[in-house]
Chains A and B, each alone.
Chain A
Amino acid sequence: MSLAFDEYGRPFIVIKDAESKQRVKGLEAQKANILAARTVARILRSSLGPKGMDKMLQSPDGDLTISNDGATILEQMEVENQIGKLLVELSRSQDHEIGDGTTGVVVLAGSLLEQAEVLLDRGMHPIRIGEGFEMAAKVAHETLDSISEKFDFSKENLEPLVNTCMTTLSSKIVNRCKREMAEYCVKAVMAVADLERKDVNLDLIKVEGKVGGSIEDTQLVYGIVIDKDMSHPQMPKNIKDAKIAILTCPFEPPKPKTKHKVDIDTVEKYEKLAETEQKYFADMIQQCKDSGANLIICQWGFDDEANHMLYKNDLPAIRWVGGVEIELIAMATGGRIVPRFVELSEGKLGKAGTVREVNFGTTKESMIVIEDCAKSKAVTILVRGGNRMILEETKRSLHDALCVARNLVKDNSIVYGGGSAEIACSLAVEAAADKIKGVEQYAMRAFADALDAIPLALAENSGLAPIESLTKVKSQQVSEGNRRLGIDCKDAGTNDMKEQYVFETLIGKKQQMMLATQVVKMILKIDDVITPSGYA
């Protein structure tokens, strides 16, 4: 640790308690950071692409996650290194913005840093490298625009969308029934999409999971699913044209907040009390009945007596529905949440086409499905799976596919996948580099090399000879001028990604390159890392 001295020879204290802190400076700091980032990227590298491998992650509580979704892996990995955390953030922001390509962005960042390290060794200044990367990213951006194509689909012809979702799902565990899953996703997105405004509110799509059954039992529900059952086992399980009273008051005698006491000292009073009590229940039920409701959804519990009387009065009821779900139901059915029985009126009832209780398999579990809601187009994808692990992974995969479908509805420009876009960009950057004067030229070439890492990893993960396949495709792209050629991961016998239906959204790809470049620039700019050593 270097020390500064004042004119009397006493050391300046620049950092408090400097002895107990670790400090890395200059080139060493950059190298250390790059190493950390590369380690993270290396972990993810083998998960890239349709044949990517999975990672098994054991949480602090011993729960198991098996996933090949970049964002999930990084999130569950509990990275402690600061630079590692940056990459976790990077993949998370890709996940939030686009929802797909979370692995790709980290791998790209890692490979950019790898290239930067070589340049650093040659004595290039980190800022110049960063600038070179920026210029290269711009070229790549333009190239992406030029090779992008419009993607045609309409409400009648959803096939292309389904194919895209299938591409996304093919690398996941749900591979086996990707066709069905892709269709669910597209249908769900189309159900809530506003095609005129090109807007999709993903909040309206709920992905619910319930352990049990197999993945094939997954279903799409045009409505809301709640994990509850009818309060009385003998209530009707299927209600058509439901008029729903949504209550947040319990079917119990009132409990005033003010402290009070009712003293009973005579037999008459005692009998009166018992009578009043019964009247309470009768009144509550009558009020519900009068409003014209034929289904009660209540946030609180019922008394046994109330429960039976509801049943007697043909008022099926669901109790203990959570606050969030109550709100969702109210929004979807157009009903009002009623906090007191006296305020119940016909206008405040929610409406739904059907409400039914669905039973599952041999286990005695059931759920309530509210369909054809009056107000909203909310849809639910009800995922079934043998165990929690599969369920969670399926949910994540569906989320990715939903995002892809949404992005296409928002902006239907696409680029082809399988590394074809990266190869095209790499070629373009390489060509542009020669025209640049100055050290940046090297940085741009490095950027081009870094881009090659994606198709290389794809080929490697698919069990192909990486360099051989890459060079072959690259030369083909140049000689044939066909920018759609990529790595044939699926052994389909063609390199043309259009024929294989492998494509990604233009925004997604652009975002990937932008984010990766930015993070790399940021990491390169760090020249001093101060950490408290150890946890004292």
Chain B
Amino acid sequence: LLIAVFHYYANCQQIMTRTPLASRSFSHGKVETDEEFDARWVTYFSKPDIDAWELKKGMNTLIGYDLVPEAKILDSALRACRRLDDLASAIRILEAVKDKSGPHKDIYPYLIQELGPTLAELGISTPEQLGIDKL
């Protein structure tokens, strides 16, 4: 009986590590992929009639996660700021993302590069251009 239980357990482990959905052995729920996460957040900020509260809530939640948001999410968020006529929040978002990168100094320049067209289109200045990244 003990051997049977052992074989069953070993089999379970094997099955669980084979499937891409439940990639962790200790959680039985489906794990969201990075693309799904990004898509979800892009959709959140793309809501045409997003209101100020939702923008703040979304942004604060996103910054709470252990990651730096992808350029496409930030693009969506910046466009939401434009719909809400809120330039200050757009600049604040850029500051927050730079701060969120922490010691990885190459993330922020990359994001600014990716967001370049959007920043130019919407007329958003980066904190560096305004000089508020310094004291």
Bound pair (A, B): no
Residues in chain A within 8 A of chain B (CB atoms):
none
Residues in chain B within 8 A of chain A (CB atoms):
none
